[in-house]
Amino acid sequence: MAEIDFSKRSFNYYPTNAIVVAKFVDGKWSRPEVTGDFNFSLHCFAGIFHYAPSCFEGLKAYRGADGRVRMFRPDENAKRMESSARYLDMAYPSEELFIEACTLAVQANWEHVPSFESGATLYLRPILIGINPQLGINSSKDVLFAVMVSAVGTYSGAKILVPGTAVMSRNYDRAATFGSGGYKLGANYAQSLHAYNLAHKLGYRELLFLDTATHTRVEEFGSSNFFGIKDGCYITPDSPSVLPSITNKSLRRIAEEFGLKVERRAIPVEELGSFEEVNSCGTAVVITPICRIDDKPALESDTVTRQFRYPEVCGKYSEKLYHRLVGIQRGIEEDTYGWCVFVNEPN
Ligand code: PLP
Ligand code: COI
């Protein structure tokens, strides 16, 4: 087979060989099955088509400098899927099943794991959806768990660490105060789609959501968490309606290693004016610097009330954090935390 050129990839769906599927039906999990059939045949009354019993995950597999393939912290994704499924009152795969399915998905698509040199990665998308036919509003008792993959480039399409702009969302909320924001539910993304489209049409790379109750505190971006740096301190919001990002959790650990103080606390919107570096962080975006955040009364409005500006190049702490994180993921730096899980080449 001809070698695939991964170097020009964006963050998108690209065809691969196979997906992995397991079902929880009548109280029992099936064994994970590798299949080349990318279509699901589901009953039209399956819960997923009506009440959105759906959660998902995102993680990446990397071909390291040493040629070995590793996944980054899949155990954390398994735990977060469990927490999302518990919120939906649905069955969930054990950590063992989750990691087995991810491993099988990588092995079944081995030639789609991009070369180290390309800088691209294999993105894994595990999903968990309710499938039994139902009409009343109930949680699903039968679920489908699948892991699919796509070999991707940077999320923004720009080169790594090139800053982009963001706009605050004052007239669309992502997650209610006592709602589902802290879980990775499909429904949370449905809620932000329209606002996201507006922001993109206006040329912004990111959309910054505020707390729903008061619109006075920074929550997170539509695709990723927020962190800022000032006075030798890594600061990120602490809120139950923010998704607990595995990237952010890892960066907090690395920040401590670099001697930065780490604060998880409320961030008033006014404080945006005092950060030296601002970034979005997540599996898809990795670390993406933000060079400007516009505050508008409404996304549809022509008025920009104020602008928070940051350097047009990636800040020095953010760049250091990026290189240490990606260095571990890509096998350039020693994985002193034991975060990577190796995947053996299939026989
Ligand atoms: N916040 C949102 C809304 C996200 O979609 C993501 C992506 O998964 C994140 C944060 C980052 O989480 P993680 O670092 O676990 O990918
Ligand atoms: C991820 O970073 O894995 C996400 O799920 C975010 C989404 C924008 C792809």
Q: DSSP label at 185?
A: B
- Ligand 2 neighbour 156 (Cβ under 6 A): no
For 168-177, write each residue's pLDDT tens digit.
999 999 999 9
Cα–Cα distance for residue pair 197/176, rounded to 1 Å: 20
Is it the case that residue 75 has pLDDT exceeding 70? yes
Q: Which residues line ligand 1 (CB under 6 A)?
A: 58, 220, 223-225, 243, 245-248, 282-283
For 135-145, write each residue's pLDDT tens digit.
999 999 999 99
How do the domains of the chain map onto residue ranges? 6-153, 164-329
CATH 3.30.470.10 fits 6-153, yes or no: yes
Tell me what pLDDT residue 320 has. Answer: 98
Q: What is the mean pLDDT of the chain?
A: 97
3-state secondary structure of 293: strand
Query: pLDDT band at residue 1, thresholds of 50, 70 and 90?
Result: low
Q: How far away, in angstroms, is 244 Cα from ligand 2 center?
A: 12
Query: pLDDT band at residue 8, thresholds of 50, 70 and 90?
Result: confident
Ligand 2 site-directed mutation target among 54, 223, 242, 245, most atoms within 8 Å of CB = 223
CA-nearest residue, atom 7 of ligand 2? 223
Query: pLDDT band at residue 3, thresholds of 50, 70 and 90?
Result: confident
The DSSP code sequence of 136-202 is: SS---SSEEEEEEEEEE--SSSSPTT--EEEEEESS--SS-TTSSTTS-BHHHHHHHHHHHHHHHHT
Looking at the CA of residue 225, tell me the nearest atom of ligand 1: 10
CATH number for the region 164-329 comes to 3.20.10.10
Q: How far away, in angstroms, is 246 Cα from ligand 2 center?
A: 11
CB atoms within 10 A of CB 176: 12
